Each structure stands twice: as C-alpha cells, then as structure tokens.
Amino acid sequence: MKLGFKPLRAAVAAALIAASPAGTAQEARLHPVDEAATDASWTRFKARLLDTLIKRDQKALLGIVDSRIRNISGKNGVPEFRKLWEPHSSDSPLWTELPRLLFLGGAFIKRDKGPAEFCAPYVYYRWPDNAPATADGAVIAKDVLLKSKPSADAETQQTLSYDLVKVIDWEVADDDKGSRQKWVKIQAGNDSGYVPEEQIRSPLEHRACFVKSAAGWRMTGFEIGE
C-alpha cells in the first residue's frame, strides 16, 4: 500500500477547521528553523542520504532505518515500514518526499523516553499554539507572490513571507495547459489568490525524525498526518 499526502489534504484540512474553536483572523508567521544546521555530523549524513534518495538506493536507505521506526499505522518496525512505503518501488513517495522535508530544516524533539530526535520539517514541530484557527498552510519562503490567477503572468495581489494562511484548494492546474506548474489557492487577509505549490506546506505532510548515536544517525520515524 503506497501512502501519499495529496488524497488526504482536503479531508484532513476540513476536519481540522471543523474541530478548531472560532477565532478572529490575524497576521501570523512561522519562520524557518534548522536546529541541526551547526552539527557537522548531521550535515554529512544529510548529504549522503540525499545522494541515496537521488539514486533511489533501497539497500542504502534501509541501512539507516531504525529497527523500531515509528510508522503511521501505529505498528512500528522495518517490516511495516517496507509494507507501507514500498521502497522497492521507483515511484514510492519516499524518493520525493524525504528530500523535500530535509531541505526545509527541523527541530530537536524530546519524547518521554529515549534520546532527543531531530525532526523535519519544522512546519509540523514548530506550528504555533496561537495560530489562527483557520490556518492550515505555511508559506515556506520569503517574498512569495500571491497571484490573482494560477499563472506566473497574473497580477500580483500582495507579497507573503512565512505567513500562516487558510488553504482553499491544495492543487490547482496552471492556466497554461502546457505548464506543469501546480498552484495552491489560499486566503491571505482580504485577498484570495494563488501561490506555487512548492512554496507552501501543510503541517500534516510527510515528516521524519532521526537520532544520533555512536553508530551514526538513524531514521526513527517517517509519518504523515496528525
């Protein structure tokens, strides 16, 4: 069974909004965090992992997976990880989603037991408690242009930098049918418009955690959703 995020987006976002208390819209931002940026061992490990993902090297990837890795199913361990994510498949979400979250940076998380984990991306782990109730997407870049239509040539309504926004539609095709660019329709203040898909992220997308040990870094979790 392959797991992906897109089929879950609309349903999960709707559930979050329905469960959130009513609140007044307010300006809120989530600035990037990368708490392992100064750890040379992490930098080296990440470079090797990214190379593994580019090559889609199943053996090398499984070599860094912890034997008790947390899985979305609630059943932990490598056999369940393989069943859920199908690393033998060239179109497994692993090969595309892991690089995306690794480039975003993350934060150290201390659970009830065990050593601190470095978890990425920061969007999930640093989502502010005082975020507007309707916010379900974070702009992950600076000076992102909010377009009036899903087209790079459309009028710019405003510029966003790390804003938390309400998402109306997670996947909108470009007005140019020959373009592969995807857009996300959002509400930002009084404006509704479109931003490129790669410049916004939900806290419920794929995320991963890693632990540093004497034997090196290991991936201790690869999850999605709440």
Lowest mean pLDDT: which of 22-26, 88-92, 97-101? 22-26
Check residue 204 and give its pLDDT.
94
* 114-142: pLDDT as tens digits: 889 999 999 999 999 999 999 999 999 99
Distance from C-alpha of 119 to C-alpha of 104, rounded to nearest angstrom: 11
Same domain as 124, residue 77: yes
Check residue 223 and give its pLDDT.
93
Tokens of 201: 């992220």
Same domain as 64, residue 132: yes
Residues recorded for the chain: 226
User: Is the pLDDT reported for residue 19 higher than 90?
Assistant: no
Same domain as 65, residue 22: yes
User: Is the pLDDT reported for residue 163 higher than 50?
Assistant: yes
Same domain as 146, residue 89: no
Range of the domain at 52: 1-136+203-226
Tokens of 177: 């049918």
Quickly state the pLDDT bin for 111 (edges 50, 70, 90): confident
Same domain as 211, residue 169: no
For the domain that residue 94 is a member of, what is the CATH number? 3.10.450
CA 180-183-186 angle, to 5 degrees, is 175
For the domain that residue 160 is a member of, what is the CATH number? 2.30.30.40
Check residue 113 and give its pLDDT.
78
* 171-203: pLDDT as tens digits: 999 999 999 999 999 999 999 999 999 999 999
Average pLDDT in the 140-167 region?
97
Check residue 114 and give its pLDDT.
81
Query: One-letter amino acid identity for 36?
Result: A
Same domain as 82, residue 170: no
Query: One-letter amino acid identity for 219?
Result: M
Tokens of 135: 């916010």
Check residue 3 and give its pLDDT.
52
Check residue 215 and give its pLDDT.
85
CA 225 vs CA 73, 124, 142, 195: distances in Å: 11, 10, 25, 22
Same domain as 40, residue 51: yes
Distance from C-alpha of 26 to C-alpha of 77, rounded to nearest angstrom: 42
Print the SS3 string covering 120-169.
Answer: ECHHHHCCCCCCCCCCCEEECCCCEEEECCCCCCCCEEEEECCEEEEEEE
* 33-82: pLDDT as tens digits: 999 999 999 999 999 999 999 999 999 999 999 999 999 999 999 999 99
Check residue 26 and give its pLDDT.
46
What's the predicted TM-score (pTM) here?
0.84
Same domain as 98, residue 77: yes
Backbone φ, ψ for residue 195 (5° rounding): -125, 155
Same domain as 67, residue 39: yes
Same domain as 35, residue 131: yes
Same domain as 98, residue 124: yes
Same domain as 33, residue 4: yes
CA-nearest of 61, 49, 26 to 134 is: 26
Q: How many domains does the chain have?
A: 2
Query: One-letter amino acid identity for 116?
Result: A
